[in-house]
Amino acid sequence: MYNHFFVFLDGKNIKKIIPMRLVNSAIRAFFSLREERIKILLEQPLESQNKWLSYLLDNGSKTTYGKQFGMKNRWSYSKFSIQLPVQNYNSLMPYINRIMQGENNLLWNSRIDWVAKSSGTTQTKSKYIPITEEALKNNNYLAARDSLTFYCHLFPETEMFNGKGITLGGTIHELDGNCKVKCGDVSAILMNNIPVLGDFLKAPNREILLGSNWHEKLQKIAQNTVDENITSLSGVPSWMLLVLKEVLKISGKETINDVWPNLEVYFHGGVAFLPYINEYKEIMNNDRLFYMNMYNASEGFFGFQDQKKSDELLLLTDHGIFYEFISINEAGVATDKIIPLSDVELNKVYELVITSLTGLWRYKLGDTIKFTSLNPYRFKITGRTTHFINVFGEELVVDNTDKAIKTACEATNAILNEYTVAPIYANVENSSGGHEWLIEFTQKPDNLENFIETLDRKLKELNSDYEAKRTDDLILKRPQIVIAPNGLFIKWLGEKNKLGGQYKVPRLQNDRKMIEELINMM
């Protein structure tokens, strides 16, 4: 039987025991009173951006970095964009390394106790993003509260707070003994610093959720939640699927709806959800379940879905981040044109540049987006500047492949688990090149030939450059499919020491290094 009581703790003293239904009503009322946040985000984005730019400059002018470039709190945007260079992780790495050795006031005007570990760059195995208390307060936690405000606005009769939520996060990492800061996946840092009250709305306990052994942690999460009243889920789709399958295995039930009939929302992000949607719908068997799209990275919380019928993301303009955008031309190459939010246009692709409370100054995030609305500012993620295939001028991006593989799966009753794509180079024997798809299915296509034809046809519909290169097989031959054994991608991530909610399988590679590693493991 579910636990219908909520224990409210103040330190170690139990003050009162309240029925969970009253807790749900009280929390729901709290979020319904935050209507001013909805108005600010929908109606005052540019005012918010100007406010945060002034605040960022005021603090930055007191740092080593700011003094190096003569930063002033009264700078206009024009002066800011002229005086400060655009940066990436590699160019900021000398500062970050010094921060990890205990130096303060380098990039931000406060003490930094945490760094968030993320996937690496071409020069590093891992990135370490500084995390400040101001960023946690004004970005991560505020954005989380705002996402719940919008959710309660969309579903005013929600019973989500009548049960518990599973937040699938990362772990705390051990750093070199000389490092003076603590380290973890950003989700683990958030969970480690969450108020005690939050523990009573989550399952299982914090110790399990922060465990470092991922195989053991996933099993424990399932074991300790199968009998709970779970009403919400939050996490990366690929990793959450592993938890859900373990829950079904332990419970002996056929669908998640049989285990958690009150589950009403899944907050997902980290990777595109489109390739996983069919498997989720089948494993859930819950037409009432709302899938809420989130854009939360190690560098910050940037957007969430604010509409019922569209997964477009609302840009979070009042959360301690100043945004700029690098225009991407039709060939998929970044231009020299960098603009503020006020100058963006609809349906053009931009690379995201942020200045934030973590001390990332004009930092190229590597993600590309396209605005679908300017009032308010809503957008879709189109891919990453480093995740594409353009060996033959085909300009293939993740948005193309995600949509195409979803269509192919639907046409052949297949259920996708993971995939990656790499080029096949032309040579003496092969005058034409191509693309090799390594795909791990939960359920294989009922007709592989039909799957390939559908995949190829959809890619032609979505990408005119791909279609042109496929003409008569002169430059590109049709896709080649290699079916991966179950568990291959998880094994590969494990060997790379990248197990956990913050890590995901790269979809597109412009070379064959990764796919060759995977094939060799087969």
State the pLDDT at residue 5.
38
- 6-51 confidence digits (pLDDT tens): 333 333 333 345 566 777 888 888 888 898 999 999 999 999 999 9
Query: Using an 8 Å Cβ cutoff, are 219 and 244 in contact?
Result: no
As given in the structure block, the two tokens for residue 363 are: 């930092």
Length of the chain: 522
- 75-109 confidence digits (pLDDT tens): 999 999 999 999 999 999 999 999 999 999 999 99
CA-CA distance, 283 to 275, in Å (whole number)?
A: 14
State the pLDDT at residue 119.
63
State the pLDDT at residue 114.
95
Share of the chain above pLDDT 70, in %: 92
In the predicted model, is pLDDT for residue 397 greater than 90? Answer: no
- 230-268 confidence digits (pLDDT tens): 999 999 887 898 899 999 999 999 999 999 999 999 999
CA-CA distance, 424 to 445, in Å (whole number)?
A: 23
- 282-318 confidence digits (pLDDT tens): 999 999 999 999 999 899 999 999 999 999 999 999 9
As given in the structure block, the two tokens for residue 128 are: 């370490």
In the predicted model, is pLDDT for residue 385 greater than 80? Answer: no
Assigned CATH topology for domain 388-521: GMP Synthetase; Chain A, domain 3 (3.30.300)
Mean local confidence (pLDDT), 365-370: 91
Summary mean pLDDT of the chain: 88
b/e 404-418 (16+ beta carbons within 10 angstroms → b): bbbbbbebbebbbbb
State the pLDDT at residue 519.
95
CA-CA distance, 167 to 265, in Å (whole number)?
A: 12
Cis amide leading into 376 (omega within 30): yes
In the predicted model, is pLDDT for residue 513 greater than 50? Answer: yes
Delimit the domains of the chain by residue range: 388-521
- 97-146 confidence digits (pLDDT tens): 999 999 999 999 999 999 998 765 545 657 899 999 999 999 999 999 99
State the pLDDT at residue 331.
53
In the predicted model, is pLDDT for residue 418 greater than 90? Answer: yes
How open is the CA angle 122-124-125, to the nearest 5 degrees?
A: 105
As given in the structure block, the two tokens for residue 188 are: 């683990």
- Between 368 and 169, the higher pLDDT residue: 368
- 196-221 confidence digits (pLDDT tens): 666 778 899 988 988 888 888 889 99
Those residues whose C-beta lies under 8 Å from the C-beta of residue 494, and which sit 6 or more positions away, are none
Q: Which of 101, 100, 49, 92 is nearest to 68 (CA)?
A: 92
Q: Which of 199, 257, 197, 268 is nearest to 231 (CA)?
A: 257
- 440-495 confidence digits (pLDDT tens): 999 999 999 999 999 999 999 988 778 878 888 877 899 999 999 999 999 998 88
Longest CA pairwise span in the chain (Å): 78
In the predicted model, is pLDDT for residue 325 greater than 50? Answer: yes
Question: Is the pTM of the predicted complex or chain greater than 0.75?
Answer: yes
CA-CA distance, 355 to 346, in Å (whole number)?
A: 23
State the pLDDT at residue 8.
39
